[in-house]
Structure 1
């Protein structure tokens, strides 16, 4: 092998090594970007989970309010029926007298 061929072989090897190092640096940069994107995704998922929990709590409150309102409505209806019975009873007493 002539000195020129050796020099060309060394230059070729160095070129391949530079390409590999450049490729490795790009890979590491992209990996860092992916890790950052993953962190942001996890933060967003945590925020969505908290929002979902808050929504669930609000729905439970609204269901509770609805049940209480329905119960109050039934109580009022029962009170009205009781009053009607009393009025009828009073009217009977008055008409019998």
Structure 2
């Protein structure tokens, strides 16, 4: 048995450093409706953890409360880009 090609799908949590630091497997964070201000999502997000590779797109992103899918996807992309840029620094 091998863990090759295995990703963990995990929700964002209060202590992402402890939770995501407990594994070496790549992780995907369960998505949610992005905040209009991507900086606020990064403050409470696990996306900056080294093992996190991206988001799992869920119904809340495809059917946002405000009805603007493009804006929701753009906001999620900005959060991912900022997390990737921050992790690289």
User: How would you bin the TM-score normalised by the shorter chain?
Assistant: under 0.3
User: Whose Rg is larger?
Assistant: 1
The structure that is strand-richer by fraction is: 2
With the length of structure 1 as denominator, give the TM-score of the two structures.
0.23
Structure with greater helix share of residues: 1
